[in-house]
Chains A and B, each alone.
Chain A
Amino acid sequence: MGWNRKVLRVNLTAGTCTPEPLNMAWANDYLGSRGLASKYLVSEIDPKVDPLSPDNKMIMATGPLTGTMASTGGRYTVVTKGALTNAIACSNSGGFFGAEMKFAGWDMIIFEGRSPKPVYLYVENDKAELRDAAHLWGKTCWQTEETIKASHQDPLIRVSSIGGAGENQVLFACIVNDLHRAAGRSGVGAVMGSKNLKAVAIRGTKGVSGIKDFPAFLAAANAGKKVLADNAVTGQGLPKYGTQVLMNVINEMGALPTRNHRDVQFEEAGKISAEAMHEKRPTDGKPHLVTNAACFGCTIACGRISKIDETHFSVKNSPQYWGASGGLEYEAAWALGAANGVGDLEALQYANLLCNEHGMDPISFGATVGAAMELYDLGILSREQIGVDAKFGSAEALCQLVEMTAKGEGFGKELGLGSARLCAKYGRPELSMSVKGQEFPAYDSRGIQGMGLAYATSNRGACHLRGYTVASEVLGIPVKTDPLVTDGKPELVKAFQDATGVFDSAGICIFTSFAWTLADVQPQLQAACEGDWSMDKLNAVGERIWNMERQFNLAAGLSAKDDDLPPRLKTEPAKSGPAKGLVNGLDKMKPEYYKVRGWTPDGVPEKATLERLGL
């Protein structure tokens, strides 16, 4: 129970859709969504496979709490070998698509092979079929949703699709659902594009009936909701300010990476902050922010819905962007803004809209622009090569480059490779602010030491959502630790990484963990799912998932040397703020972390560790 016990296997090469029973032994060991889909992936593909070849597979998966009253229970994940990272990828998205998959009666959909021509998958409850997508190829994510709903004459269909970025194999292309929610990172959209799969459209009217003990589940879900409502972050901060509540906080801490991590504080952070989104604009007297919004089942509602300034240079002749739409969230505002030194809020929203529309990860895109701007600043790239005057702080350059990248035009093609390949191509690989090929998110690890270790050891490349020690080091959740020291961070990082695996695999949003610990999730899982879901078991599930992902990456050819940070963060001290003079102490933390994990000094899980976890 909790699961539908049904998997849809779609062979794109043969054009077949086949139902099969969910492997319940695996569900018992890996829970669902991220963990369970990863187990399927590592069992079915060669770790050394080219991510963009037909031999890679891509899995869309829900968790046992997806499609239920558990707060935030609308998440789904896309699991594959990442195009950007050549490592295991799991990108998580909210919106309404995941719940719809569950309501149609499926736990996950496995895509394999490559379709000879563009297709989309249409699922209506038990019925699943591949349909011709010739008329959709070349369309944006927004147009694709609209066209599919119109052609099926069903406005209640939920759609997940790729835009031009995924079609053109931009290596940080994402998969967009419900207009502005995305499985964002690691290039899962490029994998989908390589399979000639344009979209997945689902209508589910069967609902979720498989809850083990409904009254107990409702009581547990309600108790969880109360904890979220009573918490200052999830009950007040996130609904009012969104994740953008962090912009000024992180800037004051001296941990806001600025101009490709040259600086750790951005002098214009206030202009792109949550507070700025609430202020009335001088041009039209309206605030940028229209309202907050929730994903399926979410009682936090951190989502931002904004209206861009119609008189802004980026959109004054483009009324199609004047309506209310998603953004800005903290990560996008940082990557499109501080990372490039751009302090023009409306320009950031324009770039964000294009990322949503064409299906690109704004973090990797923005950070890649930051790297290109540094190459330009150093005279390594010329104006002729880039096609625009790409100086740090140029909103005009940002707005031009986002369109060029999404459409694969000119220098945009090179930006679409991501910063690691771009910087390597021009002989300065050390200027790519990335780990395992994936760009950093919005926290500088010189000012928040634990994040350096979390980034370096993340199984999907640099990422804040694999071990968000910011919660502890900045916000004091669940306990306050000193962000400027390395002591205790290996244990902290491991604890966050393992717990996150359970949140992700349950089908709920990691933002609940601002208020919830696993002890708040456990009663909900116990009531929803058959079997024993004690705290001990959940802790083991989290650690098992982490080690399984690690094993895959090692087999794929990654090693301890890939658990590293760019030299800038280890040798160039922070120039200002509370962390002034500090570099990241990764080299001190990493050996200790391997020990805490039960891994050899080379970062390989010990036999005893694997046996303990049943791997």
Chain B
Amino acid sequence: MQKSLHIDPAKCTGCLQCEMACSYEHTGTINPSKSRIKVFDFEHEGRKVPYTCTQCADAWCMNACPVDAIVVDAATGAKVVREATCVGCKVCTIACPFGTVNYMADVGKVQKCDLCGGDPECAKACPTAAITYVDADWTGLDRMRAWAAKANTAAVAA
């Protein structure tokens, strides 16, 4: 079964435990500025939204890369940057419509979410289950269940 990160912004409190976990997994330091998942704070609406790579099936970044540095991890479906191959040309950062591939000036390479090889640290660190790692075919399952419950209530009431 292929799995996918599933993000429910309504549950996010903005604590940044996901950013800490991501940066620690990939750099060995606690450093949200190096995190591949970012929480955006829309302060005047009171909403926090975690955002990261959606792992496009036909990935714009991968198609744009002139040196084939972005490859598919067969086990997880993640589009992964091979750092040794990446030349830091940044074309993928332009190709990505969502901004989730980013250039790291200190290493001269790009970085993006790689699903931590199939066990994403952000999902494990999230205290409110705003970030979960679920069956990629059924990312809508929770929402369907919520609507089904409503329909069920109506039926019971009638």
Residues in chain A within 8 A of chain B (CB atoms) = 67-69, 96, 99, 103, 156, 179, 204-209, 211, 214, 225, 229, 239, 290-299, 301, 305-307, 323-325
Contact = CB atoms under 8 A, between A and B. Distances in A.
B52 interface: no
A306 B44 CA distance: 10
Contact of B17 (A179, A297, A306): A297
Contacts of A229: 127
22 contacts: A69-B30, A69-B125, A99-B32, A179-B43, A205-B31, A205-B33, A207-B23, A207-B31, A207-B33, A208-B29, A229-B127, A293-B13, A293-B14, A294-B15, A295-B15, A296-B16, A298-B15, A299-B15, A301-B13, A305-B46, A323-B43, A324-B46
A323 B128 CA distance: 25
A110 B31 CA distance: 24
A297 B24 CA distance: 14
B105 to A, nearest CB: 10
Interface string B26-56: 0111111110000000011111100000000
B47 A291 contact: yes
Q: How big is the B interface, by class? A: 20 to 34
A179 B14 CA distance: 14
Contacts of A297: 15-17, 20
A323 B15 contact: no
A323 B31 CA distance: 31
Contacts of B30: 67-69, 207-209, 211
B115 interface: no
B81 interface: no
B33 A156 contact: yes
Given A103-B31, A103-B32, A207-B23, A291 B15 contact: no
A217 B100 CA distance: 30
A296 B13 CA distance: 10
B40 to A, nearest CB: 10
A211 B24 CA distance: 11
Contacts of A293: 13-14, 46, 48
Interface of B: 13-17, 20-21, 23-24, 27-34, 43-48, 125, 127-128
Contacts of A206: 29, 31
Contacts of A299: 15, 17, 127
**9 A-B pairs with least C-beta separation:** A207-B31, A324-B46, A323-B44, A294-B15, A290-B46, A294-B13, A301-B13, A207-B29, A299-B127
Contacts of A103: 31-33
A290 B10 CA distance: 11
A491 B128 CA distance: 38
A67 B16 CA distance: 10
Among B13, B29, B33: residue with most chain A CB under 10 A: B13
A293 B49 CA distance: 12
Among B15, B23, B45, B47: residue with most chain A CB under 10 A: B15
A207 B47 contact: no
A324 B43 contact: yes
Contacts of B44: 323-325
Contact of B45 (A68, A295, A323): A323
Nearest to B47: A291
B119 to A, nearest CB: 14
A57 B86 CA distance: 50
A290 B48 CA distance: 12
A593 B16 CA distance: 42
Nearest to A306: B46
A613 to B, nearest CB: 33
A207 B125 CA distance: 18
Given A296-B16, A297-B15, A297-B20, A209 B28 contact: yes
B21 A69 contact: yes
Contacts of B14: 293-294
Given A295-B15, A299-B15, 4 more contacts: A69-B30, A103-B33, A296-B15, A306-B46
A305 B42 CA distance: 12
Contact of B127 (A208, A225, A290, A307): A225
Given A290-B46, A323-B44, A324-B44, A204 B33 contact: yes
Nearest to B32: A103
A294 B19 CA distance: 14
Contacts of A291: 46-47
Contacts of A290: 45-46
Contacts of B127: 225, 229, 299, 301
A198 B115 CA distance: 43
Given A229-B127, A324-B43, A69 B17 contact: yes
B109 to A, nearest CB: 16
Contacts of A96: 16
A542 B4 CA distance: 47
B29 to A, nearest CB: 4
Contacts of A323: 43-45
Contacts of A305: 46
Contacts of A295: 15
Contacts of A214: 24, 28
Contacts of A292: 13
